[in-house]
Amino acid sequence: MTIDELLNQLSLAEKIAFCSGASFWKTKALPRLGIPQLLLSDGPHGLRVQADKTDHLGLQSSLRATCFPTASLLASTWDCQLIEQMGAALGQEARARGVSILLGPGVNMKRNPLNGRNFEYFSEDPLLAGQLAAAWIRGVQSQGVGAALKHFAANNQENRRMTSNSLVDQRALREYYLPAFEIAVKTARPAAVMCAYNRLNGSYCSEDQHLLGDILRGEWGFDGVILTDWAATHDRIAAFKAGLDLEMPGSKGFFDQEVAQAVKQGSLNPALIDASVRRLLTLAQNYSPRGGTELPRTRATAPPGQLRPEQPPASAAPSSSGPDPLEAQAHHQLARQVAAAGAVLLKNQAETLPYQPNQPLLVLGQLAAQPRYQGHGSSLVTPTRVDSLLDGLGHYSSQIHYAQGYRLDGRKAPELLRQAVQQAASWDGQILLCLGLPDVAESEGYDRSSLALPQVQLDLLATVYLHNPRITVVLICGSPVEMPWLPQVRALLQLQLAGQAGGLAAADLLFGSRNPCGKLAESYPISYDDVICRNCWSGPGTQVPYRESLYVGYRYYDSVRRPVQFPFGYGLSYTRFTYSNLTLQPLKQACSFAVTFTLTNSGKRAGAEVVQLYVAPRTGGSFRPAHELKAFSKVYLEPGQQQPVTLTLEPRSFELYQPGVQSWVIEAGSYQIEIGASSRDIRLETSIDLKGQKPLKDNCSDWYYQLQGQPEKVDFVSLYGDYPEWQPPRRGEYDLNSALRDLKHSSPLGGLICGITQLVIAMKTSGKPDWHNARFKMLMLSAQDNTLRSMLLFHPSRFLKKLVAGLLWLTNHPGHHKHQKFS
């Protein structure tokens, strides 16, 4: 049957029910029509299918899968081909487990380096993030598995993510926070887009007509499924009107009666429900499970929207058999290749690296033996195997000595420190020190509190340096850290969160069997005091004004020429590259150019260079960053090899968004074209003059032109419009959209529920409340940030409805509850 014929077979009640999940990870099936359930699964760098069907929160281990490097490292590869290859491997493993939709990738911008989930996002630059996301999606979907691009949109912090309200001016939204999604949607056509928890300019993303309807579906032409993040539904009727199709997880019909009543009363057009069902039926047909473990080895040949006849309806039960040994080994080696391509050599004084074969090394630091290779939260993967740094080094040298040096939980261990320093003092050779952030420092569910490394690790470095300065540091973390200790080390390799084969990849780079070719996908500030949005991010309230507008990351640092520890796009190699012969050729389309130059490997090793093209407007009109990345390429060259490189500029490379006319325009005037090895290392440049709209100054505060000091509310109001200051909720104002954390101090019952929640989570994780335990901390803070409505959606029951109703009444009406009944 066609989609329309299937649709005609359904009653209104069936249609409404079909638009919400059957369970925590599955969509609803329509057995009488041959429509299967679909199994959805995290995550962006490895499959997380829970082994225990009742373990919805991931308290126990998931089925084994390859743990690839996280997105922060993937972005540092700047290699779309390699990321597409990794995406295909993810799709193969998903298909083998019966997974139809993989929840990824995440393309939220890195507004602030303290975002606890930055390891799961690509970059501070939307072009780089968008193109890498598109490659990931193409790879996954080539295997007949759908991708769910997330989290749409302006979801840039973890603290209070369920209730925060991102206040973003239209230019920043359209030019900075949305383009990564736009690129991925238009060029890769993901099966689904997942909306974010937060509000955007006052509207929850799950019901934002402008965001979902006007932009995503209207302007970008997205015809796939829009689904909620888990329990992110607030007003289901408004969500249907905005174009949201699928409520996840299943809430046992929580909204169904309300939706049916709205249709009956004429306040909801049933055609909107039909449109959602039509998209869900198409999704089910395109991505129905095979029901087995055989992996597709070739790209899917059927175009989106057509039923693949070789895929009959099947159940969405995950396969519990382990991964094929040959496939597991191949994917482990691919993970190793990706990790090596994305690790970034940040310092190499006097060519300390690479080490010589069988070179004696003293290795210090617990992370060398107990690697941290992924972030915490919904993306946590149970790997097929893990190779530590010590494992990797053992492949290259038989003279590896090790001392732990510190505890990963941050607790002081004087004896470990003494032993490590004693060995370093007597060691007449190179020291390899492994430093980084522990699990509890960066995670989904909460934001980081500092850019500093743990003090016990800083103590080890400082003390060892006094006795032996021949130190190389391998840094393991998913986001930037402050480095006041940088002068004390001779070489620094940023390994990031490198996946299960990261230890092998690090050894490959340290001993020179691979040449470092990664480049930073985000700026590393010297201090958190240099971060422009530090005073208007992740505060105690739910209102988050994006006062800095377009000036995020290098767009700010380079505009004000502020010193940074390492600039965007930076990375060293064991070889050298020279740039020459820049030419600019107009193309047929207006305001389009082919930019060509010669790249030469002038060193003695084969290697890859990431060439970056920036456009610097000189029109004198609207405020804009000093320059922005508009094209890039990763070029592999043998020693002495020369190669012409051509990058393309399109009209969008020069455009800005004008909110007054709601369109993209090019300002007439001069534009500098810059070719560089990083945003601060421009090797070639030229300029062009473009015809276009007459440049006009924006009617806003001078701050956006002069960038002096911090942007204040008065500056942002001139750009965004006025808005009230956030006020803590008061008695009488609490409702289903209130977070549990807000009620725990306002009601004895709220405090009691928080206490019980803490005990339950402690019993399921560490056995007792332990804020040094990443899983306990993540689950506890996430629970406190949950709204009462999301609690009901996660655990729909008559008892919980009564409990929540009672909690709200007691909080809003203290002293008036003696004879109140909750039905």
Each residue's pLDDT tens digit, 621-659: 999 999 999 999 999 999 999 999 999 999 999 999 999
Same domain, 160 and 267: yes
Q: Which residue has the higher pLDDT, 621 or 729?
A: 621
Is 21 within a domain? yes
Residue carrying structure tokens 């942002």 = 716
Judged against a pLDDT cut of 60, whether residue 307 lies above it is answered with no
* Cβ neighbours of residue 263 closer than 8 Å, sequence gap 6 or more: 12, 269, 270, 273
Q: For position 7, which CATH number holds?
A: 3.20.20.300
Is 524 within a domain? yes
The CA distance from 645 to 578, in Å, is 12
Contact assessment for residue 750 and residue 811, using Cβ atoms and an 8 Å cutoff: yes
pLDDT digits (tens, 9 = 90+) for 652-682: 999 999 999 999 999 999 999 999 999 999 9
Same domain, 274 and 374: no
Last residue of a domain, one of 696, 728, 755: 696
Q: Which residue has the higher pLDDT, 460 or 724?
A: 460
Provide the pLDDT confidence category of residue 319 given band limits of 50, 70 and 90: low
715 catalytic per annotation: no
pLDDT, mean of residues 712-717: 97
pLDDT, mean of residues 490-496: 99
* Cβ neighbours of residue 97 closer than 8 Å, sequence gap 6 or more: 39, 41, 47, 49, 63, 65, 293, 318, 319
Contact assessment for residue 177 and residue 130, using Cβ atoms and an 8 Å cutoff: no
Last residue of a domain, one of 662, 696, 730: 696
Give pLDDT, residue 601: 99
**What tokens appear for 9 in the block?**
């077979």
Same domain, 459 and 605: no
Judged against a pLDDT cut of 90, whether residue 278 lies above it is answered with yes
The CA distance from 345 to 348, in Å, is 7
The percent of residues in the chain predicted with pLDDT above 90, rounded, is: 79
* Cβ neighbours of residue 662 closer than 8 Å, sequence gap 6 or more: none
Q: For position 479, which CATH number holds?
A: 3.40.50.1700
Judged against a pLDDT cut of 80, whether residue 304 lies above it is answered with no
Give pLDDT, residue 302: 32
Is 91 within a domain? yes
Give pLDDT, residue 813: 79
Same domain, 278 and 158: yes
Judged against a pLDDT cut of 60, whether residue 313 lies above it is answered with no
Same domain, 537 and 633: no
628 three-state secondary structure = strand
Give pLDDT, residue 737: 87
Judged against a pLDDT cut of 90, whether residue 801 lies above it is answered with no
Domain span including residue 642: 575-696
- For 802, phi and psi rounded to 5 degrees? -65, -40
**What tokens appear for 522 in the block?**
């985000």
- For 681, phi and psi rounded to 5 degrees? -130, 75
pLDDT digits (tens, 9 = 90+) for 336-377: 999 999 999 999 999 999 999 999 999 999 999 999 999 988
**What tokens appear for 198 in the block?**
């937060």
Neighbours of 458 (CB within 10 A): 15
The CA distance from 206 to 247, in Å, is 9
Q: Which residue has the higher pLDDT, 201 or 794?
A: 201
* Cβ neighbours of residue 303 closer than 8 Å, sequence gap 6 or more: none
Contact assessment for residue 490 and residue 352, using Cβ atoms and an 8 Å cutoff: yes
pLDDT, mean of residues 783-809: 82
Active-site option among 42, 79, 169, 229? 229
Is 336 within a domain? yes
- CA-based nearest residue to 119, from 387, 334, 381: 381
Give pLDDT, residue 820: 52
pLDDT digits (tens, 9 = 90+) for 44-97: 999 999 876 655 555 567 899 999 999 999 999 999 999 999 999 999 999 999
Give pLDDT, residue 479: 97
Same domain, 597 and 638: yes
- By DSSP bridging, strand 400-403 and strand 361-364 are parallel
Same domain, 34 and 140: yes
The CA distance from 233 to 790, in Å, is 8
- For 488, phi and psi rounded to 5 degrees? -85, -5
**What tokens appear for 456 in the block?**
């016990």
Same domain, 534 and 643: no
Q: What is the mean pLDDT of the chain?
A: 92
Same domain, 510 and 642: no
Same domain, 404 and 263: no
Report how far Cα 253 is from the mean position of its chain's Cα atoms.
31
pLDDT digits (tens, 9 = 90+) for 736-789: 888 888 887 777 777 888 888 888 888 888 788 888 888 889 888 888 888 888
Judged against a pLDDT cut of 90, whether residue 144 lies above it is answered with yes
Is 757 within a domain? yes
Is 136 within a domain? yes
Whether cis (ω within 30° of 0) applies to the bond prior to 105 is: yes
pLDDT, mean of residues 396-421: 97
Give pLDDT, residue 681: 99
Is 68 within a domain? yes
- CA-based nearest residue to 614, from 600, 624, 599, 602: 624
Instruction: Name the domain count of the chain.
Output: 4
Whether cis (ω within 30° of 0) applies to the bond prior to 590 is: no
Last residue of a domain, one of 696, 728, 753: 696
Judged against a pLDDT cut of 80, whether residue 525 lies above it is answered with yes
The CA distance from 149 to 137, in Å, is 8
Contact assessment for residue 589 and residue 632, using Cβ atoms and an 8 Å cutoff: no
pLDDT, mean of residues 313-324: 58
Same domain, 681 and 748: no
Contact assessment for residue 649 and residue 615, using Cβ atoms and an 8 Å cutoff: yes
pLDDT, mean of residues 401-410: 96
Predicted structure pTM score? 0.93
Q: Which residue has the higher pLDDT, 697 or 312?
A: 697
User: Residue length, the chain?
Assistant: 823
Distances (CA, A) of 220 to 184, 207, 214, 553: 10, 18, 9, 26
Helix (H) or strand (E) holding 346, with range, is strand 344-348
Least trusted range by pLDDT, from 514-518, 536-540, 647-651: 536-540
Judged against a pLDDT cut of 70, whether residue 294 lies above it is answered with no
The CA distance from 194 to 226, in Å, is 6
Same domain, 123 and 236: yes
Contact assessment for residue 68 and residue 105, using Cβ atoms and an 8 Å cutoff: no
580 three-state secondary structure = strand
Is 792 within a domain? yes
